[in-house]
Amino acid sequence: MKKILEILNKLKKKGLIEDYAIAGGIAAMFYTEPVFTYDLDVFVIIKHEPQAKIISLASIYDYLKNKGYPWKGEHIVIEGMPVQFIPAGSALEQDAVDNAKGITYSGIRTKIPSAEHLIAIAMKAGRRKDFEKVGRLLEQAKIDNNKLEKILKEHKLWGKMKEWKEKLK
């Protein structure tokens, strides 16, 4: 993981990405008990034309491929771990990266979204494993309920959260 974080910071320093935040199951583990996850998801902000319909990750993949890291499906395998670069294309993902908190992991600076943003992102994705993540975060993380409500309402997910909570009753 340390090597991956070093590479992410190098991608930012080289200008291949503007910013990033660790996402998905690994980000959630900073707030909850560990669970198995296959890969490391990384939300990235990449410079692109505002009118562009597609955000290209080619510069990232080309750079890493030239460094000897193989491409496997939608992942680049770095030090044995599949890494998926996900453009922060929605307002929610952009907000999660912009407001991610800086942490130090194994002596390397990185960023993770707030637990509240991770809940909103999981709600938006809506898969069974995402709802399980929401449950773990609500149960184990220190959640600012006002912040969570604000994020969910801002990104039109408040109703989905209320429906999900009703199903649990």
pTM for this model (two decimals): 0.91
What residues does each domain of the chain span?
Answer: 2-168
Secondary structure of residue 137 in the 3-state scheme: helix
Classify burial at 117, counting beta carbons within 10 Å of its beta carbon; exposed 0-12, middle 13-18, buried 19 or more. buried
Give me the chain's average pLDDT, please: 92
CATH of 2-168, one of 3.40.50, 3.30.300, 3.30.460, 3.40.1350: 3.30.460
In terms of pLDDT, which residue wins out, 129 or 96?
Answer: 96
Cβ neighbours around 128 below 10 Å, total: 7
Please tell me the distance from the alpha carbon of residue 45 to that of residue 20, in angstroms, as a whole number: 6
Q: Per DSSP, what are the bridge partners of residue 159?
A: none
Q: What is the mean pLDDT of residues 121-143?
A: 94
pLDDT band for position 51 (50/70/90)? low
Q: State both tokens at 154.
A: 């801002």
Residue with tokens 């990405």: 17
Q: Note the pLDDT tens digit of each residue in 75-113.
A: 999 999 999 999 998 999 999 999 999 999 999 999 999
Decide: 99 and 112 in contact? Cβ < 8 Å.
Answer: no
